[in-house]
Amino acid sequence: MIKSLKKRITKISCIGAGYVGGPTMAVIADQCPHIKVVVLDINEQRIKAWNSDNYDKLPVFEPGLKEIVLRSRGKNLFFSTEINNNIADSDIVFLSVNTPTKLSGVGSGHASDLRWIEKCARQVALASSGHTIVVEKSTLPVRTAQTIKTILGSSSNKKKSFSVISNPEFLAEGSAIKDLQNPDRVLIGGEDPVSIEQVADIYRHWIDDKKIIRTNLWSSELSKLTANAFLAQRISSINSVAAICEETGANINEVSLAIGSDTRIGNKFIKSGPGFGGSCFKKDLLNLIYLCKYFGLKEVANYWLSVVSLNSWNQNRISEIVVNKLFGTLAEKKIVILGFAFKANTNDTRESSAITISKNLLIEGAKLKIHDPKVSSDQIKAEFNLIDNKSNYQNIYKEDINNGSWEKIDNIYDAFIDADAAIVLTEWEEYSSLDWEKISKLMRKPSWVFDTRSIVNNNIISKTDINLWRIGIGPN
Ligand code: NAD
Ligand code: UDX
């Protein structure tokens, strides 16, 4: 066991200025004005954007974030590419870099790609001085702390010492600031009780100690992966029930209400939709599946694999429904995509169901008019270019996909001119109050609206000549 003396924390660095590093450090700086917080990244553009004078240009959109950055930036919150200098005089270094799914080699398609975490550990080993607490903030496979400890421990400079702490982040995008300011719990895993308490001290500035859970390193790492797996499993479960509702005449919203009223089940994460997106659920499930296989737990791996498979099936099933309702062909048909972000109140599109569904429709020959209040045309293009090598998109539509077959539209009503159908894929507030009377006059007949988020007002739309399909709602 590592032993360290409790020292006053005056400076924290965080490597990785992304969706987690940026907002998390902004909240820590806001709550701990006596601590200097520096967020570091190799991506110069990202750091430039964090330092932008135009607060609407911050690289991450989160309600409440820009106000916090405005309060703290330049006082005790800094964004910088000067990584080594800042590591050198930091008491704590958070590692908040990306850990995507490995795309080649051993574990390809399942295991986490830990190259960025390893690089950070090496950099901390080299640049640090004195005693440094290294905190895993990224989501990591269980036992990664062992690798980090080994790298840090191989430093030949005896004046350096380290303790490794696991402190996974549970924020959800779109509500990141609220989640950070008032989390359900803070999880701190480690071996050195002094370092655990030093990290806990930071959170105690605004979070009740009763919410701080202390565990060993491996429980902490594994809890993060399994928390995401449980949440994703609930979404696949409810989406499977939505499909049964559509066949039987049951209504998914009524079923969700009925089952969620059982306090043992609870009413959160049982909203049916196009399928879970985001950078975490699929990646973390795949990683868990990889670990299960690695430890010889084939049945356990298959159980979690079914959660991922159901999600892909659900995304594909929605595009098939659109094709079937539009007479089996989408050739030259104009379809409006309402929402490209993976959920409302974020500009993040990673693993958004809109990507798979849009690509499926493009393959059928549709012309897409894509609207999203926070996602740029360049970002949509980048997502379409990230073509999965194993999929049939590669050969058929890779060149065509960005060649006039889709267009980003800023004025929603313009998107509907001569459109055959619209699909609500993100639950942006503004989509729940659209003027369907006006829209019905703009669309080509017969016109369809496919609501995968249950936000369209059925009473209003039923007064128009638009046909409405709603997820999880079958024929009466
Ligand atoms: P991100 O891709 O938005 O940000 C990661 C940043 O790390 C990038 O800006 C990248 O340039 C930087 N980086 C990579 N290697 C670096 C290096 N060697 N030196 C300096 N900078 C480096 O990722 P994210 O969404 O913030 O996720 C980070 C981690 O947090 C992941 O492990 C993820 O699973 C986990 N997580 C994410 C969320 C979420 O909602 N996005 C929630 C909880 C946990
Ligand atoms: C998730 C976890 O919630 C969070 O704790 C973790 O730190 C990171 O991963 P995030 O992916 O940002 O957060 O958003 P989340 O709210 O979990 O939504 C993920 C996906 O599930 C979205 O596509 C969302 O639309 C979908 N979802 C969520 C549903 O379809 N139904 C629901 O009931 C809830």
224 is catalytic: yes
The 3-class SS string of the chain reads CCCCCCCCCCEEEEECCCCCHHHHHHHHHHHCCCCEEEEECCCHHHHHHHCCCCHHHCCCCCCCHHHHHHHHECCCEEEECCHHHHHHCCCEEEECCCCCECCCCCCCCCCECCHHHHHHHHHHHHHCCCEEEEEECCCCCCCHHHHHHHHHHCCCCCCCEEEEEECCCCCCCCCHHHHHHCCCCEEEEECCHHHHHHHHHHHHCCCCHHHEEEECHHHHHHHHHHHHHHHHHHHHHHHHHHHHHHHHCCEHHHHHHHHHCCCCCCCCCCCCCCCCCCCCHHHHHHHHHHHHHHCCCHHHHHHHHHHHHHHHHHHHHHHHHHHHHCCCCCCCCEEEEECCCCCCCCCCCCCCHHHHHHHHHHHCCCEEEEECCCCCHHHHHHHHHCCCCCCCHHHHHCCHHHCCCEEECCCHHHHCCCCCEEEECCCCHHHHHCCHHHHHHHCCCCCEEEECCCCCCHHHHCCCCCEEEECCECCC
Catalytic residue among 14, 32, 245, 280: 280
Q: Which residues line ligand 1 (CB under 6 A)?
A: 15-21, 40-43, 46, 83, 96-99, 116, 119-120, 138-139, 169, 171, 173, 279-280
Q: What is the pLDDT of residues 312-334, one digit of tens each?
A: 999 999 999 999 999 999 999 99
**Which ligand 1 atom is the nearest neighbour of the CA of 140?**
32
Verify whether residue 292 is a known catalytic residue: no
pLDDT of residue 385: 84
Catalytic residue among 36, 66, 102, 224: 224
Per-residue pLDDT tens digits for 160-198 = 999 999 999 999 999 999 999 999 999 999 999 999 999
Residue ranges in the chain modelled with pLDDT below 50: 1-2, 389-390, 394
**Ligand 1 mean position, distance from CA 194 (Å):** 27
Nearest by Cα to 125 from 93, 169, 167:
93
Q: Would you state the pLDDT for residue 400?
A: 62
Q: Which amino acid is at 256?
A: S
Probe residue for ligand 2, chosen from 182, 231, 452 as the CB with the greatest number of ligand atoms within 8 Å: 231
**pLDDT the model gives residue 390:** 44
pTM for this one?
A: 0.95
Q: Give nearest CA residue, ligand 1 atom 21.
A: 41
Residue closest by Cα to atom 8 of ligand 2: 172
pLDDT at residue 367 in the model: 96
Candidates 256, 265, 269, 455: which one to mutate for ligand 2, based on the most atoms within 8 Å of Cβ?
269
pLDDT, residue 475, reads 77
Q: Is 399 a catalytic residue?
A: no
Ligand nearest to C-alpha 119: 1
Ligand with minimal distance to 351 CA: 2
| Distance from Cα 433 to the centre of ligand 2, integer Å | 23
Ligand nearest to the CA of 286: 1
